[in-house]
Amino acid sequence: MEINLTAMIEAIFTVMGQPDTRVRQCLLTMNKWLELIVGHKQVMLGLVLITCRMSVRIEVKYQLEVLKLLNNVWHPGRKKITIR
């Protein structure tokens, strides 16, 4: 576990460069590390990523929120949208 976390930290510094708080906030804040759940299942932005099965699904709570939003904002007769 420690080797994986070390490799992850090194990868962040490789991609983002050494932290310079005068220019940007350091990505390695302690609250992110304390909330980090290390495992085969991660929930991000309403998606559930299960790495041992190599699958992605939409979280049920996220589905219900989207359906509620669609039902409240759009009238029932609407069949399509136009995206600019």
What are 8-39's pLDDT values in tens digits?
777 777 776 776 767 666 666 656 666 666 77
**Per-domain residue ranges for the chain?**
1-38, 39-84
Q: Within a 10 A sphere around the Cβ of 9, how many other Cβ atoms?
A: 13
Q: Is 42 helix (H, G, I), strand (E, B) or coil?
A: strand
What is the predicted pLDDT for the residue at 41?
Answer: 84
Q: Are 78 and 41 in contact (CB under 8 A)?
A: no
Q: Which residues pair with 48 in a beta bridge?
A: 43, 57
Q: Are 52 and 40 in contact (CB under 8 A)?
A: yes
The predicted-structure confidence for 23-81, as pLDDT tens digits, reads as follows: 666 666 656 666 666 778 888 778 888 888 889 999 888 889 888 888 888 777 877 77
Q: Is 21 helix (H, G, I), strand (E, B) or coil?
A: coil
Residues in the chain: 84
